[in-house]
Chain A
């Protein structure tokens, strides 16, 4: 791919961005005598909690060490999706000839414009996370490093902040494995990868989790020669095998060099190159790169909080120990987001934060075990999941059956040229109760939200089969899966053993007149 141009984004973008997320001239307010809720960390969880509590009229102190928005806005979901969008454009342009619209010379990449676009987007979105937005809601914002001084007191920049309830939402940071020599390679993590000024010719990615896979594929599509090294025999260990294998083949199609079941045992610099020493089944190999991206998971930010002073138990690997109500071992302190959840996704952080606020301030008894949170890995195709996995159901001795529709049997997927993947809806066998769903599709992140609504509303497969969908639409796959259930149900005549779902009622209320 060609690289050209020196154009930069609007020079004001970064200034506007910083003014929103960390104003230089910010002065911390004088603290109130006590706050209803003190929140440590202004990432997705902290911000969601602050807005929620403030909107209910509670006094809120929000303490942030670095910038508003946390990883998600600064170095996570937002910038990565901006880059992935450009990568998809490049991919579409390469395949454009197949759609009868050839791009004669292929895509010409201007990397600085790619990054400028990313910064513009980040700035635009930051408006909703800005200090001014929060301050307008009456939230007191403190910049500085917080630590607990006692069970009901925090300290930030030598200022004491007393609280009735507190929420720890300090998030997590990239895990750094102990690889000899890695420190000498100036490797990058998710925190620094978006600071690159030029597209690396060769990029080595260590780790095949969601972020590693997303960025490996994206940078490959932008034009880097990417090698991804994964310790496990498959990518995305949290996902089912079929999904992970489809992703693996998709990345290979893009040109990503895949090294599964391979361990990085050393790193060094040699003649200007960064070299990873890897071992696969006792066979050693070197990978040369210009940049190394380390993406081997995240560890919770708990160390500097002096949690012991507030009798809050934690684990440096698992984070703050919370009960089903997100309450820590200090009954007045809750936690939300990456600092305590195994599911380290922005939406999970926000959801848990709102739940924690309800439980902490409004005597609610919301359980995280009963929440249904979808998640997605934004590769192409995307891989999304909600609810139970098959193996989880089987471990709990729940008879489970999956109704699968291949995307290549969905008309809209065919017309879009996006027919790789599937929709699987997992049901409790003997009923039409939906336990979970896995979707691999170009826009699985959107499709899975229909499943979230369905599951939250308690709609079962029978009712779902009767819900009209637009035609053609990729979401038709969901309806087709339900119709497969319905056909089988009609054929066998088996009445649901536990008809927990009663979506018909929803239809009756809506009074839809579709045929």
Chain B
């Protein structure tokens, strides 16, 4: 852990936050403003990472890492790019119906890898667009507001329902809507709120109710929770929306809210880490964070009566799995707003025992100490992933100041979306 260990909690989180933010600068394209999915050579842009970047520029301004003018310039560049990019059903367009393909060429902005027109990743991007539109409120920043407004209003959320109450997970020009819908509670809460808030092409309200029908309210490892396995699903929507004290019909019925639910989920993840039912190396109440992230992949061993199958990039979950002993080193720290003590104790333990997970003060995407590599010390994901860095920047800020939450509380689209989803009470 080196000198990180000597830092106070505040200094430690400041330093890690700033390093995470620097990814969004270091791996942004100078012409388009697009940000790379990973730090690996040749990585395309992930539109979700752009959403995190747009949300993080104002954070950088408030922390003095960027001037407001610089942040506005970066923001304007990327908003202009999206506004001018090709929207069509062509296979190499940037987007269609106001949505965008998951992965784009960093330079041209064209679709790559025959990827899907992604609803959730568009939602993460648009959330960042709305933060920008709300934050840059100066006279000289009008174009940002106009572009943000226009980009949001042209998203045809209703089209994504394909004439049904369900919302598809995506669409491809080659085969139309994907079969996958949203089943069970997860990060799609943000997608539904933004989709419902649209004044132009809103999701039908029955869409949200239909999704809620798939929720599972469970008593798991001694705690009540609206279940979702991967930890990130309890965090992503919360990076933007302050769910404290506001309740939809479901949470009203359960006398809880989604913020408290994330706290329960974190407690379950810690408890699972402590129980360590499958005997993975290092798991404990201070070593947890089973979520979506990079993994060892293509490895299979049998050890002490256990199958050890390892997976690549995938959504891992607790307690039903999949779990191959891989944690996301950033995940514990990302829970700061919900469980500060657990987040800090776990992060410090991780940095103390496995300092290699934090190279240049940035956490890697995945770490598996059970699978010992040739170099020893467990398997470690190469480089960094933009999603992880962006989420950390926002969560640390929300923990410290509630800055992003304050911005989106003022966003009429977010407020309308929440109300149409049936949320009431608290700050709403």
Partners in one complex: yes
Distance in angstroms from A76 CB to nearest chain B CB is 29
Which residues 213-250 of B have a CB within 8 angstroms of A? 213-222, 224, 229
Q: How far is the CA of A249 from the CA of B321 in the complex (A)?
A: 9
Residue B137 CB within 8 A of the other chain: no
Residue A395 CB within 8 A of the other chain: yes
Residue B175 CB within 8 A of the other chain: yes
Residue B278 CB within 8 A of the other chain: yes
Which residues 166-191 of B have a CB within 8 angstroms of A? 172, 174-175, 178-180, 183-184
Q: Is the CB of A281 within 8 A of B174?
A: yes
Chain A contacts for B304, CB-based, 8 A: 98
**A402 is contacted by which of B183, B218, B305 (Cβ under 8 Å)?**
B218
Q: How far is the CA of A402 from the CA of B215 in the complex (A)?
A: 11
Residue B299 CB within 8 A of the other chain: no
A261 in contact with B218 given A246-B321, A419-B277 (CB within 8 Å)? no
Q: Is the CB of A404 within 8 A of B220?
A: yes
Max chain A CB contacts within 10 Å: which of B212, B217, B306?
B217
Q: How far is the CA of A242 from the CA of B320 in the complex (A)?
A: 7
Residue A56 CB within 8 A of the other chain: no
Chain B contacts for A484, CB-based, 8 A: 219, 222
Q: How far is the CA of A408 from the CA of B319 in the complex (A)?
A: 10
Q: Is the CB of B179 within 8 A of A241?
A: no
Chain A contacts for B320, CB-based, 8 A: 242, 245-246, 422
Which residues 94-142 of B have a CB within 8 angstroms of A? 114, 116
**A281 is contacted by which of B172, B184, B216, B222 (Cβ under 8 Å)?**
B172
Chain B contacts for A419, CB-based, 8 A: 277
Main secondary structure, interface of B, reads loop
Q: Is the CB of B217 within 8 A of A233?
A: no
A424 in contact with B184 given A232-B179, A245-B320, A406-B319 (CB within 8 Å)? no
Query: Which residue of B is nearest A255, CB measured?
Result: B300
Residue B400 CB within 8 A of the other chain: no
Residue B355 CB within 8 A of the other chain: no
Q: Is the CB of A282 within 8 A of B275?
A: no
Q: How far is the CA of A406 from the CA of B275 in the complex (A)?
A: 12
Q: Is the CB of B277 within 8 A of A417?
A: no
Query: Which residue of B is nearest A99, CB measured?
Result: B305
Which residues 272-303 of A have a CB within 8 angstroms of B? 279, 281-283
Q: Is the CB of A391 within 8 A of B219?
A: no
Q: Is the CB of B175 within 8 A of A282?
A: yes
A404 in contact with B305 given A394-B212, A409-B275 (CB within 8 Å)? no
A402 in contact with B172 given A98-B302, A261-B179 (CB within 8 Å)? no
Residue A400 CB within 8 A of the other chain: yes
Q: Is the CB of B307 within 8 A of A399?
A: no
Q: Is the CB of A391 within 8 A of B179?
A: no
Distance in angstroms from A79 CB to nearest chain B CB is 29
Q: How far is the CA of A137 from the CA of B116 in the complex (A)?
A: 64
Contact with B along A236-266 (1 / 0, CB 8 A): 0000111001100100110000000100000
Residue A488 CB within 8 A of the other chain: yes
**A399 is contacted by which of B212, B216, B253, B319 (Cβ under 8 Å)?**
B253
Chain A contacts for B216, CB-based, 8 A: 240, 390, 402
Q: Is the CB of B217 within 8 A of A253?
A: no
Q: Is the CB of A401 within 8 A of B321?
A: no
A401 in contact with B224 given A419-B277, A424-B218 (CB within 8 Å)? yes
Q: Is the CB of B215 within 8 A of A394?
A: yes
Chain A contacts for B305, CB-based, 8 A: 95, 98-99, 417
Chain B contacts for A233, CB-based, 8 A: 179-180
Q: How far is the CA of A201 from the CA of B88 in the complex (A)?
A: 47
Q: Is the CB of B322 within 8 A of A249?
A: yes
Q: Is the CB of A282 within 8 A of B184?
A: no
Chain A contacts for B222, CB-based, 8 A: 484, 487
A401 in contact with B217 given A242-B320, A484-B222 (CB within 8 Å)? yes
Chain B contacts for A402, CB-based, 8 A: 216-219
Distance in angstroms from B314 CB to nearest chain A CB is 11
Max chain B CB contacts within 10 Å: which of A99, A241, A242, A279?
A242
Contact with A along B289-316 (1 / 0, CB 8 A): 0000000000000101111010000000
Chain B contacts for A404, CB-based, 8 A: 218-220
Q: Is the CB of B219 within 8 A of A485?
A: yes
Chain A contacts for B319, CB-based, 8 A: 406
Which residues 372-406 of A have a CB within 8 angstroms of B? 390-391, 394-395, 399-404, 406
Query: Which residue of A is nearest B180, CB measured?
Result: A233
Contact with A along B50-92 (1 / 0, CB 8 A): 0000000000000000000000000000000000000000000
Distance in angstroms from B111 CB to nearest chain A CB is 13
Chain B contacts for A242, CB-based, 8 A: 229, 320
Chain A contacts for B275, CB-based, 8 A: 408-409
A252 in contact with B277 given A232-B179, A404-B219 (CB within 8 Å)? no
Q: Is the CB of A253 within 8 A of B178?
A: no
Q: Is the CB of A400 within 8 A of B217?
A: yes
Distance in angstroms from B191 CB to nearest chain A CB is 18
Chain A contacts for B178, CB-based, 8 A: 261, 281
Q: How far is the CA of A417 from the CA of B114 in the complex (A)?
A: 43
Q: How far is the CA of A424 from the CA of B174 in the complex (A)?
A: 40
Q: How far is the CA of A187 from the CA of B408 in the complex (A)?
A: 58
Chain B contacts for A429, CB-based, 8 A: 217
Distance in angstroms from A412 CB to nearest chain B CB is 14
Q: How far is the CA of A358 from the CA of B179 in the complex (A)?
A: 44
Given A252-B309, A281-B175, 20 new contacts (CB under 8 A): A95-B305, A98-B305, A233-B179, A233-B180, A242-B229, A245-B321, A245-B322, A249-B321, A249-B322, A253-B307, A261-B178, A261-B179, A281-B174, A283-B114, A394-B215, A401-B217, A401-B219, A406-B319, A424-B218, A487-B222
Which 10 A-B pairs rank lowest in CB-CB distance, beginning with the nearest? A282-B174, A98-B305, A408-B277, A282-B175, A402-B218, A242-B320, A394-B213, A403-B219, A401-B217, A233-B180
Pairs across A and B, CB under 8 Å, 11 listed: A98-B306, A233-B179, A233-B180, A279-B175, A281-B174, A391-B213, A394-B213, A401-B218, A401-B219, A409-B277, A485-B219
